[in-house]
Structure formats: structure tokens, C-alpha cells
Structure 1
Amino acid sequence: MLDIPGSLTVNELHELIDLVKSIYGFDFSDYSKASLKRRLLRVMQQKKLSFYDLKHVLINDPAFFQMFLEEITVNVTEMFRDPTFYKALNNQVIPYLSSYQHTKIWCAGCSSGEEVYSLMILLNEAGLRKKSFIYGTDINTEMLNEARKGIYSLRKIKSYAENYQLSGLSGSIIDHFTVLYDAASIHNELKQNTLFSVHNLVSDGVFNEFQLISCRNVFIYFEIKLQERILDLFYKSLAPLGFLCLGTKETIRSDYFRKKFKAINLKENIYQKIGS
């Protein structure tokens, strides 16, 4: 039986980071080292690879890298995750958005699309769907393909029903889906004003101006330096008085950026851009 090491040394971890960056252009150097190490070890265990085997396959098999990327990146999501966030959004942000002629929203790190469709349902209930457009971005192409389809297992949809109710919305979550045997497809009208595309928060820049950016429960996987770099990207991407939504486990730690955002809801970490 192949002996798989139970840990990676600091030097080995940095060697893998440098290797991935030089060959594929993905820079994980400012990701949380503890989180990255756990995920790398899981790949090694699942594929029965030693550190040297992992290096070899990353160098020689580009197809393996796509699977590797899916395992390393975080894809934990569900519809109306943290219902109190959606309730706060409905009460404190939607009234502002309703005053705009057109609203552009960026859902960064959207994974398989559940948050994008949750936001679109919220906008639809508020009568804002037709004048809103949501961009969902991620670095994981497989997850983006799932998001574009908008088809989820019926078991998952039923498990999201409580979140939906706790968000304060009327009716049932299934009202927004067409049931297909053991799966459910989001209604086409809710898919119309959405676009899913690849965007790397680490290396890519501003691509539009938004009234709202949502990037929830992603920062916890980044080091402080990378968090600040992405906050700068978000600040530059927001329209004047635009809103930034971070997860309940996130916060703006930098004194510099605290002066650039006004807290709208500290519990849910919803902020508004100050200045232009």
C-alpha cells in the first residue's frame, strides 16, 4: 500500500503554490495556509498521491488540474443561506435599489449559482427583476456550468424551504421552480437577466460598475493582504453609494477601508460605499 504523508511541510506547500502559479497562472499565495493545506492533503489522500506524485501530475496533466482546482476552491453554498441576511437586504437595501432605473449586481464566488438565484427571487418579489441584472463569477468552470443550468435536486430544494420561509418571503420556494422528476429547474424568467462567467478575484480587475456586490463567506479563506486587495477591487467596482455584502463571519478589518464604507448592518456585514 502506498504510504501517503499525513502532512505537508511549509516548503512543500510553497513549492506547490509556486508550481501552480507558474504553469496555470492561479496564485494561491495569499490564501489561508491552514485551509489550503487541508484541501491539498485531501486531494492527496483521495487520489493516493505522494507530494512528488502530485507535483508530477500537475506538471504533466492539464486535465488533472481542473479536478484539482474544483477540490481546492470552496463550493459550499445553498439557497437563501443565512436567512437573516436576506431579510436585512430586503428591509435595508432593496428600498434604495428600487429608486434606480437599472441595477447591476455582482455575486463574486457564486459557485453553482444558488445565491444568484436567491437574489433574483428576492428582486422578483420586490418587483425589481426586469430592471436588474446579476453577474455571477467564479474561477471554477464546472460550478459555473451548473449555475447556468439552474437545475438542482428536488432533495436540495426541499432542504432550502426553511431558509426561504425564514427570509420572510411569501409562498413557497418551489413556486420558483419547475419540477422535473427528482430535480427542479429555476424558472426561465429568473435566469434571463443573469450572466455567469469566469473571474479570478486574486488576479482579475474591474469589469463593470455595480450598485451591489455580494461576496459572502469567501474572505475567511484569504490572508489579510489578499482581503485588502479584493476590498480595493470591490470599492472601485461599486457605483457611488453602492452596497457591499460580506458574510456573517467576515468583517472589514482594515482601518483604511473602514473609512471608505459605512456600516448598514454590522450583524450581517452589509456596507455602503462612501465617496466616489
Structure 2
Amino acid sequence: MRKTVLITGCSSGIGRATALRFARQGWNVVATMRRPEPLPTPVEESGGDILVTRLDVQDRASIAEAVSVGLGRFGRIDALVNNAGFGHFGLFEAAPRETMLEQFDVNVFGVMDVTRALLPQFRANRAGVIVNVGSGAGLFTLPMLSLYCASKFALEGFSEALSYELASQGIAVKLVEPHGGVSATRFGERSAEEHRADAELADYDGFVARTRDAFGRMVSATTMDSDDVARVVFEAVTDGTDQLRYLVGDDARGFIKARRTLPEAEYVAFMRSWFRP
């Protein structure tokens, strides 16, 4: 019997690439998205099948329905990839409270709700793999991304703690952490849409200009595309190990190395040096 994976956020970018990769490897795929649209189905070359269905991580009824539809079509679900997410970009002081709530509702509570919906089946099977797509922003932080970083740090803590619990049930929890930027996604588009400039915060103007300049210098480290991340997600689901974290990307900026190797004071000084006058 072919295995089945449920993936969130499949309309573009990492989610779309991951759905196609699993199908090409002979998996059945429940490809979910807020506004369903057709995906190519590579049945002819692999035997895998793709079922596209609606799932909005902020709508628990849609989560339950997507799981039910997936089980009805394929009989069981063997793996879950929590990919759906977005990032607010902008000054914390300018962010409305509604944006703070939405950032966590999508990136953290949505992951929790989708995971909870599948846990009864995984426990009954005494097997299952959950891959949460994290970010380098869950390992180090950057200014003007405070809400996004906070949500990804929360996802890190949740995933690690949950991995200890679910190992007792034969269920693996893993984190795939892109860093350095991923091309061909709509992540940046939604981040830009979420940005809210506040004319009353002119005190930050110099800092914002320096930060945008620093981000421009960081972009040169971008070397991966969505399929690079999809390849690592597939590896995490299928490698049969209990490895928790999988890094994918270019650390040419040295942020992860600094976080993991430098004493605290040196690390903070290194990060601040990017944004000083």
C-alpha cells in the first residue's frame, strides 16, 4: 500500500514543491490550501496521486474536513508536513494587535490544531512522522521581523517538546529549517502586504534605512529554491531516523554558526554590528 502525506500551504513555493516531490516518489498526497487550485498530478510516472482540498489553518472545521476527506480517499495518513505560514515585516511598535494575533494563529496555533487533528490516527497506528517547516528565524533573530521570529521560536520549542512526548507513541517530530532565503515563494509578497508604515514613528527612520540596507547585503546569500527545501522535507519524512533538526540553506552570513559557537556577548555584538551606523 502506498503511503500518504498531508501537506499544508500547497498553493505555491515550498508546499507546492513538496507535494509534487512526494507524488513523484510514489506517495499519495493530500495537498491542502486556503483557496484550492489544481496541481499537476504525476500519476503516470510514479503511481502517486494528489488530492487537492481546502484547509485554512485558522479554520478548525476546515482542518477536520480535510483530514476526513484525505482518509476517505486514501484510507490512512502516514505523515504530516506543516508548511503553511507567513511573516509580518515591520516595526513592532507599528504592528496592530490583530497582526500579532494572526502571526501566532497561523504559524503556531494552526500547526498545533492540524497536528492535534492527526494524532489520534497516528497513535492508533503506533507510527507517523510530523515535519514542521521552521526557519532560521527560529534560531536567530532579525529586527523588523520580531513577530515572525517570535512565532518561529515558539514553533521550535513546541516541536522539540512534542518530539519527546510522541516518541513514546512511535511518532517522530522533525523540524526543517530553511535559512538564507528561499526563491520562488509568495512568502515575501504576503510579508510586504502585512507591513504597516507609521508616519508617527519617524524616530526610527535612520534605523529602518540601515536595516533595509543590511537586508540588501544579506540577499546575496540566497542560493536555494523551493525544491531544495522539498528535498530535505522528503528526506526528513523517509530517512527512518530520530533526527530532530534539518538545516537547509546558505549560512554565508554566519548567523547560525555565530549562534551555536560564540559566547552570548560576542554573539549579540556580532548580530548588532549589522544594524549599527
Instruction: With the length of structure 1 as denominator, give the TM-score of the two structures.
Output: 0.36
User: Higher helix fraction: Structure 1 or Structure 2?
Assistant: 2
